[in-house]
Structure 1
Amino acid sequence: MIELPELHGRPGPTAPWWERRASWIYDCLLGNLLPDHGETGISYPLEHVLLGTLHLPGGELAAGDPYVMGAEPLIFSRRLGADVVEVVATVAGDERMATLLLLAGSNPVCGWAMATSADDDVCDLAAEDYRGYPVDSGTGALGSPAAMRRVGQALADDAGRMRDPLSATIHAQMGTCSAMIASPDEGLVAVAICSSGWGDGDYPTWLGLDDTGAVMVALTDFLLTSDPYQTIEHEDVMLVSWWRRLLGR
């Protein structure tokens, strides 16, 4: 059984949208149900899949789309509270990825931070804006900076032929779960990799902090559904609605 840290307290009504979104989506993970506030009466059951452990020397974390980032992943400034983390994929009812979650500790989550790089400026964010990593091949990944660089370089060297070991692993496991821990080659450090919800877009990573400010959880939110706090639609949420109309959902 997968034990997620408890959630203690929630952001108030004057907190930024992203902070309330982070707390809300984590609360949904704890309750194993994801309601869609853009589609009245629709909720998706959630399944947590433990993928294994990931090595993050010094707690450093990087993210990106491994098929397009090359050797330059987005490296987050804030470090996690552990060098080895458990990786959990959360799958929504129709087998789409809702979140990719890293568990760095067991203390209750008391607050939230947005994972950003040293180059990000969040002081001038609009009311419902956020910083995230870009996805252009429908694939997201988390790992140490060194591992992510090696993965990106290996896929760039393969030039889209899908003959590299990582792509072979992905295709071999396709149909069991669209998330896994995999390495670009035998003996190299692995990364956590998954399909990215509804596809391409920019996806935020929320950091759940304990009462000392240490990072207990890090989760990439694939923005599958809208939340109670949105007053405008993000491009990703609008894309979801467009796909639903197209598929007749």
Structure 2
Amino acid sequence: METTLAAVYCEGWDEGLINPLTQDEAESRDSAGEPYSVVLLAGGRLHSVLNISWTEGYCAVEHHDSAGRVTGSHEWRRAREGDLFLRESANRASSDDPANAARHRIDWQLAGRRNDSIEPAGDRGGRSTFADNGFTPPRLPIPSFGRWNALLDRSGRIHAESCVPPFSGVCAVPRVADGPFRVAPEAGAAGLPVRRSAERPWHPPRPLQPRGVEALFTDGTERTVGDRRMRISTVPAGKLNLPSGRLVAADPSSLDYGEEPFLVTAPPGSYAVTISLATFTDDPGHTRVAAARLDINDRRAATWELALRDGQDLLDLGYGEFFGFGVDAGMACFVDEENRERLSEEWEAFDLRDPRFTAVADGDMIAWSSGWGDGAYPTWVGRDHSGYIVSFVADMRLFPSDD
């Protein structure tokens, strides 16, 4: 029997509609790839919520029980071929005690691997985990606006179909209700609670973006930190030797822990490193390192992307997140993978107060003080219009308000 669901549009759901939208406004956002939400009602009761942002190739489906509790969530992401694949699914038994209800989560990978986590007693303890190959994630074409029937039907059947050996013996979570569904527009807010807010209650999984990278290396540029100003200046730090072309950016005190090189490589050679310094305009003696740039050639970067290591996937990042290298000793460095282990103890002799950087072992390592100190820092890869590597920039994130 087909279930008819009434669609109401907004910027998000949080025990009510956040910033309601008309159907035309929602459809306009859909075509522009901008975030919006669809609240689906069955007989006037909350049934499902869709959070959609096609710029990120993202659609999250949340199923609710009769008490409004989330019993299932399914995150669909865009594959390289253009269609959607199921990245993550989670199901929870409907219960008056949600924290202790049985739950089952699956993380899917396009390569055919899935990781299962099953907790039959919820927070009371006990968990079974599995990782196996040979499980292709469900895939669907990206639906046009209002054509969410297949998306809803497929999400509703996922856990029933997924509880196959070796998972069926411990899969204690009932599946969410099946369709088929028919979606029809609803006039107005359908009597639901409405709230206005300057912030959406959800964000699309948009990782940290490389903004203002060029400005970090433009002498005289001024940036604001709190209520103070800092001025950028650049200084050459010498040439870095890359005998293998496999670059490592890391805290030099952690090089003996097996810091991995980036997947993007450079032709073996020696390349100039430039340090970006930021000085408080009202305190010329107070300078911090804003960034370090390794130039592979003299062309300008047309695009920037996050440098990744083996096993890292942008699809694993949420809003504002990034993969970076950790710093515990207040310093960072560039070094070739071939030289990493040999230079793992050099940091013990560093004094990076004045100047804030140093070249080590005739250019086998270049180290600098890390921004405000300890933390995690991304490295950006610059490419020219033809897609060739131009530079690597270790961003010390002195100005996170620009993110």
What TM-score do the two structures reach when normalised by structure 2? Answer: 0.45
- Deviation track 1:110-139 (CA, whole Å, cap 9, x = no partner) reads 111111101212113112111100111111
Structure 1: how far apart are the matches of 2:376 and 2:277? Answer: 19
Structure 1, residues 195-248: CA drift from partner, whole Å, max 9, x if none?
1111111100011111121221111111111234x4xxxxxxxxxxxxxxxxxx
Which residue in 2 is equivalent to 1:88? 274
Partner of 2:110: none
Alignment RMSD (CA, Å): 2.4
**What residue in structure 1 maps to residue 291 of structure 2?**
99
> Over residues 68-87 of structure 1, what are the superposed CA-to-partner deviations in whole Å (9 max), with x where a residue is unaligned?
33151231000135622101
Residue-by-residue CA offset, 1:147-171 (whole Å, 9 max, x unaligned): 122212xx2xxxxxxxxx6543x24
8 A Cα contact 2:292 2:395, kept in partner? yes
Partner of 2:323: 131
SS at 1:90's partner residue? strand
Q: Report the CA distance between 1:179 and its aligned residue.
A: 0.5
Structure with larger RCO (C-alpha < 8 A, sep 6+): 1
Aligned pair partner of 1:54 in 240, 256, 271: 240
For residues 87 and 80 of structure 1, do their structure 2 counterparts lie closer, same or farther at Cα, with a shift above 3 Å needed? same
Native 8 Å contact 2:236 2:274 kept in 1: yes
Q: Aligned equivalents of 2:399 and 2:353: distance in 1?
A: 23
What SS does the aligned partner of 1:95 have? Answer: strand
| Superposed structure 1 runs of 4+ greater than 3 Å apart | 13-17, 165-168
Residue 366 (structure 2) pairs with residue 192 (structure 1): yes
Q: Match of 1:162? A: none
- Contact residue 50 and residue 89 of structure 1 kept, 8 A: yes
Cα 1:92–1:72 shift into 2, 3 Å: same
Match of 2:401, SS? coil
Sequence identity percentage? 23
Alignment partners' CA distance in 2, 1:217 and 1:64: 17
Q: Which residue identity does 1:178 align to in structure 2? A: R
Letter in 2 for 1:62: V
Which residue number corresponds to residue 29 of structure 1? 217
Change (3 A) 1:32 1:119: farther
Gaps of 5+ in 2: 1-33, 35-54, 57-205, 280-285
CA contact (8 A) 1:71 1:148 kept: no
Asked if the contact 1:166/1:182 (under 8 Å) is kept, the reply is: no
Say which one has the larger Rg: 2
- Which one has the bigger strand percentage? 2
Give the 5 Å matches for 1:72-221: 72-80=258-266, 83-93=269-279, 94-152=286-344, 155=345, 167-168=348-349, 170-171=350-351, 174-183=352-361, 190-221=364-395
Answer whether contact 2:273 2:293 (CA < 8 A) is retained: yes
Q: Quick one: which amino acid aligns to residue 83 of structure 1?
A: G
Partner secondary structure for residue 96 of structure 1: strand
> Whole-Å Cα distance in 2 between the matches of residues 148 and 26 of structure 1?
28
**Structure with the higher fraction of residues in helix conformation:** 1
In 2, Cα distance between the equivalents of 1:220 and 1:166? 18
Contact 1:109–1:208 (8 Å) recurs in 2: yes
